[in-house]
Structure 1
Amino acid sequence: MQRTSDINIIETRALPSPAALLAELPKTETQADFVTRARHEINQLIFTADKRFLFVVGPCSIHDLDAGREYARRLAALARQVADRVTIAMRVYFEKPRTTVGWKGLIMDPHLDGSHDIAAGLRLARAFLRDVLDLGLPTATELLDPITPQYIADLVCWSAIGARTTESQTHRQMASGLSMPLGFKNGTDGSIGSAINAIRAAAQPQTFLGINVEGAASALVTRGNPHCHIVLRGGSAGPNYAPEHIARTEQLLAKAGLPKSILVDCSHDNSAKQPERQPEVLRAVLAQIVAGNTSLMGAMIESNLAAGNQPFPQPKDQLRYGVSITDGCIDWSATEALVHEIHAALAPRFA
């Protein structure tokens, strides 16, 4: 009989079930309590009159666990200094969408050598999230593969759906079953409507194909996630963080019957993909808040120990410590100064 399936599959590697990995690397009661509190606090910032600012900041992607932990320790100490006005969540990004090809993140290729040891990647990702939570720092990530959340979502305080996947029915369904507040980014063309439609879809009950904690194929039935909001990241037509863009987004959200809660991603097309311009975008957002805007509740910036990025692939022993291998970042000193600038700028809101 002619073979008609798996013609292009050359290997199938079994993975541990989510239940097995969660048992191997369980969350502690303290971690569970912290995740619950952090999610609640972030929801308050997004959906109520809470005046604190949500700042999602950290490396474009985690590739070096030692550098990532050093960054997390520094950020946790900084977060405590500004907690009265700013809630900081660390970008802990393990999955990277690629336009064509490239390194797909720590979960998919943890050894950075093309071996794609996904089982090891899942273990490393889960262990790293636990380390960040133990520092008292909320975790933030972008969820790309719809199976990944079963392995790590219980340790995530805020998540995002990226511009490439906001229009995906699969990701809208996945978001409807997630337990944390979540931001949908506008489309790569800058379209706001796709993100608004995604928020509305994710808020509804959904049934979709997935896996359960035992790893068995299942029909997953959700109650809907009411804690979704929009993330503006610019698009092919240019940036979308200026007052006129914010006003237009507010109008579209109101027309859809959704809360006017907007987070600005200062990277990507909002900074013309020039990482050093991210602070400029953030200052423009802060200026609108100081002028009285109440819809802008947060921002996101890509930051690392050192500035810029470095070519990859290259031998691991030649990689520079604390430098991104994906998108370029601002360095730690610029990040620290920016956090204090945010804190100072928000002072009038708390007078």
Structure 2
Amino acid sequence: MSTSIGRVADQRIDRVVPLTTPALLHHELPLDDQLTARVLDGRRAVAGVLDGQDDRLLVVVGPCSVHDPAAALEYAHLLAAAAQRHADDLLIVMRVYFEKPRSTVGWKGLINDPGLDGSGDVNSGLRIARSLLLEVLRAGLPVGCEFLDPITPQYIADAVAWGAIGARTVESQVHRQLSSGLSMPIGMKNRPDGSVATAVDAIRAAAVPHVFPGIDMSGTPAILHTRGNADCHLVLRGGAGEPNYDAESVAAALDLLRAAGLPQRLVIDASHGNSGKDHRRQPLVVEDVAGQLGAGQRGIVGVMLESFLVAGRQDLDPTRELVHGQSITDACLGWDQTTQVLGRLATAVGDRRAALAAAQR
């Protein structure tokens, strides 16, 4: 580095740590043929539900964020059994989120801070995250992740069947470009202020090709040319203190999609703004959605739930041991109530089939 560059560059960088390459991580933790087939089957199944070729309901369910891989894997085995029980009615994808967008400050997720202590060991975080994804796949479940950092997908996206762009990043050109090149269906959430039109714009933008800087599998800077992603879709999560899961809000959102020339399909997030961030209200959201399904609403193709082994949430506290299987970010449903909610959604799918069959007679 020249003397002049040393005086002007990286003035606020404390230190630089080499980052492992995607190729090396894939070599250490490979996706074998069996797991590759499981990922591809999961993506095809999700796309089939989105396109209406499969009349099941997509259910993306799991912890708000993963902080304890052992507890997450314990949850995965329970969820895999539930997925088999409801396989005729529900396509269950496990929510395995490693990155947490923050309005101000806070724990940024397992990849960024696997030690839960601010040490920022990203290399370890990437290895732990990829290892867990492979274990969840081995348990028999397709995986859903939110993508936040534009570099992270090169390390884990090959194991993911469904992805999300969050409410805080849905307006970002970087994330729209990223979505246009990702290999799985992507749900676009409405903005925290409730704007659905922004997410509709994001779906349109991600559907077309883009060219932007990134990295290749060797970690080398590269220009990425994408083909566009036709499997992007809307996620309603509430906003500005108001829910948007009710029939009127769903109809309005479907009208926006129709006006934009996009497929009329959406997923309801039962948490976040739709539950007022009160996990105990998620079943109430589901009950309303179940009623819409039972009335024959075909535009609702999926539901998202925040769920873990133990209900509620806890704060990170270095002076005490964490409760096993309880969220350290948003409050979640406990497992027992989750099974009840899944059963209600499965029944609602049967009710929708009956309503649509009756309408055709």
Distance 2:197 2:154 in 1: 29
Change (3 A) 1:256 1:142: same
**Structure 1 position 94 matched with structure 2 position 95:** no
Q: In the alignment, is residue 323 of structure 1 matched against residue 323 of structure 2? A: no
Match of 1:263 among 258, 261, 267: 267
Matches within 5 A, 1:90-239: 90-239=94-243
Displacement of 1:48 in angstroms is 1.9
Return closer, same or farther for 1:215/1:191 CA change in 2, 3 Å cut-off.
same
Within-5 A mapping of 1:9-88: 9-88=13-92
Work out the percentage of aligned pairs sharing the same amino acid. Answer: 51
Please say if residues 234 and 240 of structure 1, whose CA atoms lie closer than 8 Å, have aligned partners that are also in contact. Answer: yes
How many Å apart are 1:282 and its aligned residue? Answer: 1.1
Equivalence for 1:339? 342
Shift of residue 337, structure 1, vs aligned partner:
1.1
The amino acid of 1:5's aligned partner reads A
Contact 2:234 2:266 (C-alpha < 8 Å) held by counterparts: yes
Superposition misfits of 4+ residues, deviation over 6 angstroms: none
8 Å contact kept, 2:295–2:352: no
| TM-score under structure 1 length normalisation | 0.98
Q: Structure 2: how far apart are the matches of 1:142 and 1:69?
A: 18
CA distance in 2, matches of 1:316, 1:219: 47
- Cα deviation digits, residues 252-289 of structure 1 (max 9, x gap): 10000000111011111111111110111111111111
**Secondary structure of the structure 2 residue equivalent to 1:318:** coil
In 2, Cα distance between the equivalents of 1:113 and 1:345? Answer: 43
2:293–2:351 Cα contact (<8 Å) kept: no
Shift of 1:64: 0.6
Residue deviations 1:72-112, cap 9 Å, x none? 00000111000001010011000001111110000000011
- Matching of residue 307 in structure 1 with residue 330 in structure 2: no
Q: Map residues 245-256 of structure 1 onto 2, 5 A cutoff.
A: 245-256=249-260
Q: Deviation of residue 316 (structure 1)?
A: 7.8
**1:51/1:349 contact within 8 Å kept:** no
Amino acid at match of 2:327: S
Unaligned 5+ segments in structure 2 are: 355-361
Amino acid at match of 2:348: A
Shift of 1:338: 1.0
Structure 1: 5+ residue runs without aligned partners?
A: none
In 1: Cα distance, 2:319 partner to 2:81 partner: 29
Report how far residue 116 of structure 1 moved. Answer: 0.6
Deviations 1:31-70 (A, max 9, x none): 0001001100100101124210001100000001111111
Higher mean C-alpha deviation, range 233-242 or range 293-302: 233-242
Residue identity in the other structure for 2:231: H
